[in-house]
Structure 1
Amino acid sequence: MSETIQVRPATLRDAKAIAQIHAAASVESYRGVLPDDQLKSISSVEKRQAYWREAIEYCEPQVQVAVENDKIVGFIGFDRSRDAKTRPTTGEIWAIYAAPTHWDQGVGVALWDAARDGLSEEGCTSVTAWVPLRNERALRFHESAGFKREMSTAKTATVGAIKIEEVRMQRSLMNR
């Protein structure tokens, strides 16, 4: 991991950069997987900026950013699990994205480390993440961080007008 990556809580001023990373990483992740017209529909920064401003303002989820040389290069949103029937000690990674220019440079690991520490401090003993089945990069990342696929949870999620198959992944927070 790069020694120059710092992780800190997001501020309202960070919402636009977070939205830009969210849109760019989503488009890059699904290029060649989704049709171009659907890629265009997930590239809106304005809607994402409003969402992340509200998330940061109300701390739901908690949002942290990865910064390198005063530039935001990734972000993570985490909190208690939103899934029905999960224990109150189950946390969830709501979103984790690195700028495509910073993929494979330790940004995701730095963000995951910060979220793991934050969730542990809140008393969480396990953590989940919903990951699209066609996003091989995201699946590999979560598996390298110790998450295991729960194939019985596979479902279709709707993102705007796009239907995406996703699976819940889970890992314990009791061990590093």
Structure 2
Amino acid sequence: MSSIQVRPATLRDAKAIAQVHTIAAMEAYRGLLPDDQLKAMSSVEKRQAYWREAIEYCEPQVQVAVEGDKIVGFVGFDRSRDEKTRNTTGEIWAIYAAPSHWNKGVGLALWDAARDGLHEEGCTTVTAWVPLRNERALRFHEMAGFKREMTTAKTAVIGGVKVEEVRLKRSIN
């Protein structure tokens, strides 16, 4: 998919990132979360404020996938937020593609950019937390070489609903 370019996000990208995040999350979590909870999570404004701050302070680092002049996906990555992990462990904090661009190489292009960025930061391994019932996300990460660490399964609260998550891990190289 050579028409997809990945570049660092700028502050002007925050609204488009928030829009992709909202629509992709709504689609990804349909059936995992009750409809009223999905609707409650649909605030682009809250997500825009979050991503604007993330971009401004580089925490996490944010890259966007662009097709033409339109943002069609993004990835946020940085050092692992998990306690007791080595400082050489990175984490994919968020990775989303617009549903219109699912299965078109956007996620892979974003993963490649995150891997390169984490490698430059000196990371040797990378993790990601994924809801156990989100089969699409699990398949994506496993196709990218991640392995489930079943002993890490935990309950997280997403949109006010308890969701079982598992950490996936892989080497950066």
Shorter-chain TM-score tier: over 0.9
Partner amino acid for 1:108?
G
Q: Which runs of 4+ in 1 moved over 4 A?
A: none
| 1:118-165 CA distance string (max 9 Å, x none) | 111111000000011111100000000000000110011112312211
Corresponding position of 2:172: 173
Instruction: Tell me the CA shift for residue 75 of structure 1.
Output: 0.1
Distance 1:130 1:142 in 2: 10
Indicate the residue corresponding to 2:7 in structure 1: 8
**Distance change (3 Å), C-alpha of 1:33 and 1:159:** closer
1:45 aligns with 2:27: no
* Structure 1 Cα separation of the partners of residues 53 and 164 of structure 2: 27
Unaligned runs of 5+ in 2: none
Q: What is the CA–CA distance in structure 1 between the aligned matches of 2:32 and 2:81, rounded to whole Å?
A: 27
Deviation, 1:77, is 0.2
Quick one: distance in 2 between partners of 1:30 and 1:139?
13
- Offset, 1:65: 0.1
Amino acid of the residue matched to residue 25 of structure 1? Answer: A
Distance (whole Å) between structure 1 residues aligned to residue 126 and residue 54 of structure 2: 19
Q: What aligned pairs does 1:42-121 form with structure 2 within 5 A after superposition?
A: 42-121=41-120
CA distance in 2: counterparts of 1:90 and 1:55, whole angstroms: 19
Measured in 1, the distance between the counterparts of 2:76 and 2:133 equals 21
Quote the residue 1:134 is aligned against: 133
1:32 matched residue in structure 2? 31
State whether structure 2 residue 173 is matched by structure 1 residue 159: no
Counterpart of 2:65, as a letter, is: A
- The alpha-carbon deviation at position 78 of structure 1 amounts to 0.3
Task: Tell whether the 8 Å contact from 2:90 to 2:127 is kept in structure 1 after alignment.
Answer: yes
Runs of 5+ unmatched residues, structure 1: none
SS at match of 2:48: helix
* Aligned equivalent of 2:18: 19
| Number of corresponding residues | 173
Q: Is the 8 A contact 2:38 2:159 kept in 1?
A: no
Identity, % of aligned positions? 81
Q: TM-score, normalization: structure 1?
A: 0.96
> RMSD of the TM alignment (CA)?
0.8
Q: Distance in 1 between matches of 2:129 and 2:26?
A: 18
